[in-house]
Amino acid sequence: MRGLLARVLAGCIAVAIGVARADLGDFALQKVLQASTEIFGDTAVDTTTTTTTSASAAKPYADWMSAIPDSTPLARLNIPGAHDAATWNYTSATQASLSYATRCDGVTPQPPQTYRTQRRGIGDALDAGVRFFDLRFALDPIDGGLAFWHGAALLSGRSAVDDVLFAFYAWLARHPREVVLLSFQYEGGTKEGAGFSGRAQELLVSALTEGAAGEYVRRDGGGRLGTLGESRGKVVLLRRFDLDEGRYGGLVLPGLHLSPGRWPDNEEEGFALVYNDTTNATAFIEDYYEPADLGVNSTVAGNVAAKLDAVRMHLEKAAAAAAAVNITTNDADGEEEEEEEDSLFITFASGEHNTNNPPVFPETMALGNGTEATPDGGVNQQLAAVLRDMQGSRLGIVVLDFFDEPEDLVGLVIGS
């Protein structure tokens, strides 16, 4: 991958020439950022619209965290997220351009709509106020580096994980009071025989801990979500992967470990995931992504209703938990309060029923199918109505497909 090479060169050049010729380092950075655009979007290199000074009415949420007090626990913020954020440009043209890299063991690739859950780039999402990104990685087709995938779909042959991390860092450097939560999940099913192997683990550990990651990824022993103040200008990691105990048993990676082994599949009621066994700090998660129990001949409206119910119930749980903390705060000691402060709510509003007839693709689920069959739109339009009624409540992280529609959705998550 060219981007990775550029990064290595940047490091070598910086070491070789030091500050005297720092402008070469800038050129090298531009090269890395250029390599990131297929996943991050063109704003990685065209930053004219994303500087703090130009924040305007057009981008009211570009720096929304800056006004919130440092002492606020991250778990108490309402944070809009982008589900499978790297899929935004996975059109038929992109799928065709990557056909050389699709699996060749007889697995037929699904239509591109199966994999696509966004249509705006990551930089656009950041500027729009999105602060949580669901990213799926695995080894690239030649095991040369780490690439972004959604299932069997390679999402870019050019933008490597390292390149895109640099683009996040560069954005944070321009928005030093913001915090970005990055959820890294090892994506299975990418190609025949693929697994989270030694090489993939080694590359990921290096990407998340070495070089610029040391500056930009919040590292404090892990297992604590902490406050906004201690995280500003940084990435907070959510680790949806397990490292080999044998090799990495002693290594404490930054961020929260949301172990895949503790993440039940497609659980309608949501579940509790303890991410720190010492403090019992818990993430409450709703990730009911496929209403499979409706059967394969279900309607779009039926699928949207089933998904929206799961989302609404979970958001109400988050709001009620906040109310419970208020009671705890009044009559118990500070210790109990602190325990609650790290209780994180993550609600996935994303979903699909691709195996239905006709398929309910992620876009159909999020936005409806544009006919009288979905007069109230999809999950997103109906969620906007739910959120209007819940303004002022604690929601936690709300992870969206097609976050840009309706236009006020991200703002409704953030609240006033």
Site residues (vs ligand NAG, CB under 6 A): 37-38, 41-42, 89, 91, 93-94, 97, 221-224, 276, 278-280, 295-297, 299-300, 322-323, 326, 358, 369, 371, 373
Helix (H) or strand (E) holding 246: helix 245-248
CA distance 191 to 90: 18
Cβ 338 to ligand NAG shortest distance, Å: 9
**Residue whose CB is less far from ligand NAG, 131 or 257:** 257
Q: Which residue has the tokens 């696509």?
A: 116
Cβ 191 to ligand NAG shortest distance, Å: 20
**Residue whose CB is less far from ligand NAG, 53 or 371:** 371
**Residue whose CB is less far from ligand NAG, 106 or 221:** 221
Q: Using only C-alpha atoms, what is the Rg of the chain?
A: 21
CA distance 21 to 50: 27
**Residue whose CB is less far from ligand NAG, 219 or 232:** 219
Cβ 57 to ligand NAG shortest distance, Å: 26
Q: In this structure, are residues 305 and 290 in contact, taking their beta carbons and an 8 Å threshold?
A: no
Cβ 19 to ligand NAG shortest distance, Å: 33
Cβ 42 to ligand NAG shortest distance, Å: 5
CA distance 314 to 308: 10
- CB proximity list for 369: less than 8 A, separation 6 or greater: 300, 378
Q: Which two tokens stand for residue 87?
A: 């899929």
- The residue at minimum Cβ distance from ligand NAG is 223
- Helix 2-17 to helix 161-174 angle, to the nearest 10 degrees? 60
First to last CA, the chain: 43
**Residue whose CB is less far from ligand NAG, 332 or 373:** 373
Cβ 151 to ligand NAG shortest distance, Å: 18
**Residue whose CB is less far from ligand NAG, 193 or 375:** 375
CA distance 330 to 326: 6
